[in-house]
């Protein structure tokens, strides 16, 4: 029995050694490369057989079909095969690698320029480009054109088919294509249109504290990127002008779901304009009291800086996602010091303002002079303030110039025209501060200056010595008056110590309106002959009433009404006679 085993072992060893000897430096049975049987071939012989098979039998004119149309690719000179790696892999089978069944190793091909040119010719013939939707904006009317999918040659898949054919000799002759989607499809464009329609009907509100800016349709369209680009991602048509949209980016954000962009420079410019309104340097407080009047005063001012990066993102989202309101992000820097003194002047108690756009230079001068006379004045606790007493004499002797006033029912030049702009503004500050009004008289007729941005009835006239404006400081601390002009607006601030009072002012109610009388023309020897200048505008007569309630710690401390009986007033023209 043991002798038989030895014989069998010797036979197996002999067969194994014979197999090794027969296939020394040759490829084992069953192994193929590119479907070519390489059994018993050396690497060089295998390379020769593969190249002969591929270049002689398979490298020929191939026909492909798409929509009943035939397209041809000549493979005789269109590619280079890389067989060495495949032959090495085939040779290693049975030596370092084992699998069943034996492998059919694929060769790699490199296509040359001639082949690529053939591919491009086919692509040129069959490609149908996608059509983007267009947003057409004409006189604020926004319309959307339909989009259309495209059809293009799938070049990568065609190369895979040809490579498989070179490896197998089998070919699927249908042209592989794929759908090409528009960069801006109808749904995306419609969504953007809806956002713009929302902005058209109701502009986006940008808010910071009590400030408000409106981002309307015109502004939104200006922010959409309209830089030319070829090829473009999408197209925008504004008033028949076709404009390309080159990229999908808003600020630093890429917009994936709506392929539309806000222009970075336009957005920066818009935010820079907002920054001019918002940004301010931090200022430390200044208080210098000479015993009678505050000669130097500066309230503490927080530093503000608009965060433009976050604002850009918020504006982008608002335009594309139909948001209606944005709270602007502003970085705040607080002053290092607080306003401290023995008089209790530490914070803003109330503010009033009025506009005087359209005033003649002398009127503006008188407004500034009268404002300077009350600026820096301190009002002690329980002290009654008199406008006439504080401002003093209003005449040329005290520095005032002549401007138009109403005197004896006529519009005439007289000293101090415009001082009532100051008393009116002071009245508004007192109302907002919740202080008690002691004496107030409305003008005889409605004055246009006092209704610039305000309803009628929020005015106070003075005419020394008989008509005065008075109020009382009923707080337990001093009140400092600060009067200043910015542009065509006069501001009057009260600084002191808040005691919790809150003033609520109703909207004035206008009744019994009567039309103005016919216009009045008056000779003016100071104007050249033939010159006509309007100095008063027609105003309807009316009765106006509004109420004010002041509440402190839940208790009503003031509940009053203010009435104005305005006479109708005619338009007045000065006619030059010089």
Here the CATH number for the domain that contains residue 316 is: 3.10.20.800
Distance CA 502, CA 350 (A): 10
Q: Which among 21, 11, 34, 172 is positioned nearest to 103, based on CA atoms?
A: 34
Residues 281 and 393 in one domain: no
Q: Which residue has the tokens 């996608």?
A: 130
Verify that 385 and 326 share a domain, yes or no: no
Same domain for 193 and 273? yes
> 270 with 219: CB under 8 angstroms?
yes
Going by their DSSP bridges, the two strands 32-33 and 104-105 should be labelled as parallel
* 369, 514: one domain: yes
427 touches 457 (CB < 8 A): no
SS3 513: strand
**pLDDT grade for 339, boundaries at 50, 70 and 90:** confident
406 forms bridges with which residues in the sheet? Answer: 411
Q: Kindly report the CA angle at 304 between 303 and 305, in degrees rounded to 5?
A: 130
**Cis peptide preceding 398, ω within 30 of 0:** no
* pLDDT for 239: 42
77 falls within a domain: no
Say yes or no: 316 and 378 in one domain. Answer: no
Task: Identify the domain containing residue 240 by its residue range.
Answer: 186-333
Same domain, yes or no: 318 and 373: no
User: Regarding predicted confidence, which is higher, 398 or 142?
Assistant: 398
CB 318 within 8 A of CB 204: yes
Percent of the chain with pLDDT over 70: 88
Provide the CB-side half-sphere exposure for 487 (13 A, CA): 6
Domain closes at, from 333, 364, 396: 333
The Cα–Cα gap between 392 and 410 comes to: 25
Lowest mean pLDDT among 219-228, 318-327, 386-395, 563-572: 219-228
Question: Are 506 and 357 part of one and the same domain?
Answer: yes
The tens digit of pLDDT for each residue in 364-393 reads 999 999 999 999 999 999 999 999 999 999
518 falls within a domain: yes
Angle at CA 430, nearest 5°, toward 286 and 363?
80
Paired residues of 327 in beta bridges:
207
Q: Judge if 416 and 286 occupy the same domain.
A: no
Domain boundary among 333, 355, 380: 333
**pTM to 2 decimals?**
0.55
- 304 pLDDT band, cuts 50/70/90, is very high
d(C-alpha 266, C-alpha 329), whole Å: 19
Token reading at 430? 């007192």
Confidence of residue 184 (pLDDT cuts 50, 70, 90): confident
Residue 116 CA to residue 122 CA, distance in Å, equals: 10
Residue 56 lies in a domain: no
Mean pLDDT of the chain: 83
Assigned domain for 44 exists: no
Q: What is the DSSP string of 193-241?
A: HHHHHHHHHSPEEEEETTEEEEE-HHHHHHHB-----SS-SEEEEETTE
The top-scoring range by mean pLDDT among 62-66, 279-283, 362-366 is: 362-366
Q: Is residue 64 part of a domain?
A: no
Q: Are strands 532-536 and 489-496 parallel, antiparallel or unpaired?
A: unpaired
pLDDT tens for 230-281 read 344 444 444 444 444 433 333 344 333 334 567 788 888 999 999 999 999 9
Q: Are 420 and 460 in contact (CB under 8 A)?
A: yes
Do 248 and 329 lie in one domain? The reply is yes
Strands 108-111 and 134-138: what pairing? unpaired
pLDDT the model gives residue 140 = 65
CA-based nearest residue to 522, from 576, 457, 458: 576
Specify if 206 maps to a domain: yes
Confirm whether 54 is domain-assigned: no
Question: 232 lies in a domain?
Answer: yes
Q: Do residues 387 and 281 share a domain? A: no
At which of 303, 333, 363 does a domain end? 333
Domains in the chain, number? 2
pLDDT band at 411 (very low <50, low <70, confident <90, very high): low
**Same domain for 560 and 436:** yes
Residues 408 and 283 grouped into a single domain: no
């Amino acid at each position: 029995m043991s002798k038989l085993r030895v014989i069998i072992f010797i036979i197996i060893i002999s067969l194994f050694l014979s197999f090794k000897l027969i296939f020394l430096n040759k490829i084992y049975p069953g192994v193929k490369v590119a479907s070519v049987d390489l059994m018993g071939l050396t690497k060089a012989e295998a390379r020769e057989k593969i190249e002969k098979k591929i270049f002689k039998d398979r490298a020929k004119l191939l026909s492909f079909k798409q929509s009943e149309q035939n397209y041809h690719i000549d493979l005789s000179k269109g590619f280079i095969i890389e067989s060495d790696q495949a032959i090495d892999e085939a040779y290693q089978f049975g030596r370092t690698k084992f699998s069943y069944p034996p492998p059919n190793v694929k060769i790699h091909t490199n296509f040359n320029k001639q082949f690529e040119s053939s591919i491009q010719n086919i692509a040129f013939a069959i490609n149908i480009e996608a059509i983007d939707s267009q947003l057409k904006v004409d006189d604020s009317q926004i319309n959307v054109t339909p989009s259309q999918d495209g059809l293009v040659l799938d070049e990568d898949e065609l190369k895979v088919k040809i490579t498989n054919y070179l490896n197998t000799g089998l070919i699927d002759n249908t042209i592989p294509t794929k759908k090409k989607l528009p960069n801006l499809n109808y749904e995306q464009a419609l969504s953007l249109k809806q956002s713009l329609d929302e902005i058209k009907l109701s502009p986006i509100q940008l808010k910071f504290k009590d400030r408000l800016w409106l981002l309307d349709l015109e502004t939104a369209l200006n922010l959409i990127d309209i830089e030319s680009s070829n090829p473009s991602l999408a197209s925008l048509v504004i008033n028949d002008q076709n404009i390309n949209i080159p990229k999908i980016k808003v600020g630093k954000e890429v917009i994936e779901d709506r392929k539309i962009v806000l222009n970075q420079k336009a957005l920066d410019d818009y935010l820079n304009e907002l920054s001019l309104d918002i940004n301010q340097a931090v200022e430390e407080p200044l208080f210098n009291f000479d015993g009678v009047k505050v000669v130097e005063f500066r309230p503490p001012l927080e530093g503000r800086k608009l965060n433009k990066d976050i604002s850009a993102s918020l504006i982008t989202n608002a335009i594309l996602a139909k948001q209606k309101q944005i709270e602007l992000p502003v970085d705040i820097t607080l002053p290092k010091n607080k306003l401290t003194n023995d008089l209790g002047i530490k914070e803003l108690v109330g503010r009033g303002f009025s506009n005087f756009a359209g005033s003649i230079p002398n009127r503006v001068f008188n407004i500034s002079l009268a404002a300077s006379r009350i600026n820096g004045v301190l009002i002690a606790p329980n002290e009654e303030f008199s406008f006439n007493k504080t401002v003093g004499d209003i005449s040329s002797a005290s520095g005032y110039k002549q401007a138009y006033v109403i005197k004896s029912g006529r519009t005439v030049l007289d000293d101090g025209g415009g001082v009532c702009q100051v008393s009116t503004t002071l009245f508004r500050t007192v109302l907002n501060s919740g202080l008690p009004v002691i004496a107030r008289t409305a003008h005889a007729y409605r004055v246009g200056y006092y209704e610039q941005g305000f309803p009628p009835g929020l005015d106070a006239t003075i005419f020394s010595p008989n008509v005065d404006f008075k109020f009382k400081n009923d707080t337990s601390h001093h009140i400092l008056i600060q009067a200043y002009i910015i542009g065509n607006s006069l501001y009057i601030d009260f600084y002191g110590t808040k005691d919790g009072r809150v003033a609520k002012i109703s909207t004035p109610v206008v009744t019994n309106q009567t039309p103005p009388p016919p216009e009045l023309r008056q000779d003016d020897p100071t104007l050249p002959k033939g010159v006509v200048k309007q100095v008063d505008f027609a105003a309807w007569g009316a009765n106006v009433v509004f109420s004010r309630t002041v509440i402190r710690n839940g208790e009503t401390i003031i509940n009053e009404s203010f009435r104005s009986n305005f006479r109708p007033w005619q338009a007045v023209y000065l006619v030059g006679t010089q």
